[in-house]
Structure 1
Amino acid sequence: MNADEVLALADLNLAEATREMARWQGDYRIEERDDLLLVADASDFPVGHGNCAMALGNQAPESAERVVAQADEFFGQLGRGYTTWIRDHLDADLEAHLQKAGLTSFSDAPGMVLSAPVPDRPLGSALRVAQVEDAEAASALGAVEAAGYATMGMPTQVTERIFSTPARLMNPHTIVVLGTLEDRPAAAAIATFSHGIAGLSWVVTLPEARGRGLGEACTRLAGNRAFELGARCVILQASAQGEPIYRRMGYREITRYRWYAKGPATPGPEPS
């Protein structure tokens, strides 16, 4: 694959993973309008994947004003704020429009890709990682995600709602990995298949298990399992904490994704 193909597939997988996270919850709305993805999940939390607008396609949106107007209309009907995702490689005009409106980016994450499996590294005797095979184990993963992301500012009730139906994660296109410390769930990672590749997300480690390589081991197992199942590459959007670990594992940056959050919107006139 050349660089443009990897970028296109990474964007497609990101969009599909965002849809899939909403589907996990059961209570959601997904609409696509003129190469614009609009997702509203079960909560009104306006940050990240849950309530978001994301341009689709392999070219910049034709009208930044129309993107914002359509997103304002969609989320205004729900009385919610939302996040607009910006792809560094395509959305310069849209980003300039958001900045002109007074919005500020509060996340600037590298989009990264891994082209081959990562060699195993030994873990301490108290640590274990394994792929989750049933809903009971997936429910334990949900508790880890909620507790871990709470330390990074994610409201616990929002994460609990995302993972409230563990059986929805048990499907052929999702790899769920759980790490344990002394047999207690303490780390996790999820990979979502689409468009011939896999995208990693929800990588987290509880505070008491950090610094032991457990989160890295979950990431490695999820990615390597994806390659075993035929993924052409594995992509992710890295947090500041995770980026140096991913680079050490062999992930390389191919673009950046930024978030611009907006408060509850009121529908305005459709631009001409």
Structure 2
Amino acid sequence: MKGESLYNMAPAGLVEYGLEQFYLSLAKYGNLPWGEEPCFYWVHNPDTGWPSFIFSIRFPYAPQVKDIAELKLSAEKGIFPDSLVVSDHRSSDLLNLLAHAGFVPVLSWKGMWCTEEMVNFLPVNEKVRLEETCNTVQAEEFAGVVNEVLFAAKRISPGLVVTSESAGLWFYRVVFEDRLAGSIALHRIGNLCGIYLVTVKPEFRRMGIAQTATAWVIKKALDEGCNRFILHASKMGEPVYLKLGFQPVSRLWILKWGR
């Protein structure tokens, strides 16, 4: 993927690249260990509930079995994280090789994208508003929602949730009638906007909150000069994004080395 411009990148590649860059930005601003190897970037967070990933985007299209064996050995030794993010648009052989080596699929999302022309702005829930995190208390509340909805008993550091507009990062708490209902984040790379950490507490679901929040941040990104949008959707979230004009282009997998 190195050397390939965002302009020429296929939608599925943009989804994978955007997710990689978002987590790398979180690592850099959260003072987490991260690094670059010839075939991948890695992010490691031993102290919080954030995932520790090797990003497969920089794997060769035809990876050698010995390369995967070396990855497995590194995971066994604790040199690199033991989870990989893999997109099925790259190669089904890669998924098969990783599974054969002992990496077990544990989670998947639909990679989705749309352009400015594809966006369908539906009626919004007027009781929903977004508040940008700008102090420690708000950051802790944002982290608490993400923790509750995405990471169950694990704890994430509110220090990761910072306002970093210079890096194209924006974090918002989603409020419904003065009650904290969810969270959402944006990451801008040039004219590409990634939408991440879209969480809605269980008691606020099926009320159009995620749809309203996503539409709101798309308008924000348009004002910032973005005209392409990507996200990764859970099975529950996919119908929401289809209504907004997003189209599925790939499936993203998390594979974890089976200890």
- Band the TM-score falls in, shorter-chain normalisation: 0.7 to 0.9
The count of aligned residue pairs is 250
Per-residue CA distance 1:63-113 (angstroms, 9 max, x = gap):
2531451464267235x8621111111133321112212443232321100
1:12 corresponds to: 17
Per-residue CA distance 1:233-259 (angstroms, 9 max, x = gap):
110111111011111111101111111
**Hey, what's the Cα distance between the residues in 1 that align with 2:56 and 2:250?**
15
**Hey, what's the Cα distance between the residues in 2 that align with 1:24 and 1:67?**
30
Matches within 5 A, 1:80-99: 82-99=82-99
> What SS does the corresponding residue of 1:85 show, helix, strand or coil?
strand
Q: 1:102 to 1:262 in 2, by over 3 A?
A: closer
2:253 to 255, 258, 261: 258
The CA RMSD measured in Å over matched residues stands at: 2.7
Q: 1:106 to 1:71 in 2, by over 3 A?
A: same
Q: 1:229 to 1:64 in 2, by over 3 A?
A: farther
Does 2:102 align with 1:106?
A: no
**Hey, what's the Cα distance between the residues in 2 that align with 1:229 and 1:114?**
16
Amino acid at match of 1:22: A
**Hey, what's the Cα distance between the residues in 1 that align with 2:171 and 2:187?**
9
Q: 1:123 to 1:90 in 2, by over 3 A?
A: same
> What SS does the corresponding residue of 1:169 show, helix, strand or coil?
coil
- Unaligned runs of at least 5 residues, structure 1: 265-272
2:146 corresponds to: 145
2:47 to 43, 47, 59: 43
Matches within 5 A, 1:191-206: 191-206=186-201
**Hey, what's the Cα distance between the residues in 2 that align with 1:24 and 1:251?**
29
Amino acid at match of 1:51: S
**Hey, what's the Cα distance between the residues in 1 that align with 2:195 and 2:120?**
14
Per-residue CA distance 1:28-74 (angstroms, 9 max, x = gap):
221211121121024376xxx62111123495154253145146426
**Hey, what's the Cα distance between the residues in 1 that align with 2:8 and 2:113?**
11
**Hey, what's the Cα distance between the residues in 2 that align with 1:219 and 1:206?**
15
2:159 corresponds to: 164
Does 2:156 align with 1:155?
A: no
Query: Identity over aligned residues, as a percent?
Result: 16
Per-residue CA distance 1:109-130 (angstroms, 9 max, x = gap):
2110021244252325xx2212
The CA deviation at 1:132 is 0.3
Cα pair 1:109 1:258 within 8 Å, conserved: yes
Amino acid at match of 2:15: A
**Hey, what's the Cα distance between the residues in 2 that align with 1:77 and 1:101?**
17
**Hey, what's the Cα distance between the residues in 1 that align with 2:228 and 2:26?**
21
Cα pair 1:138 1:169 within 8 Å, conserved: no
Amino acid at match of 2:55: M
> What SS does the corresponding residue of 2:54 show, helix, strand or coil?
strand
- Unaligned runs of at least 5 residues, structure 2: 1-5
1:53 corresponds to: 54
Per-residue CA distance 1:190-239 (angstroms, 9 max, x = gap):
11112531111111111221121112211111222112211231101111
**Hey, what's the Cα distance between the residues in 2 that align with 1:9 and 1:58?**
15
Does 2:119 align with 1:123?
A: no
2:235 corresponds to: 240
TM-score (norm 2): 0.83
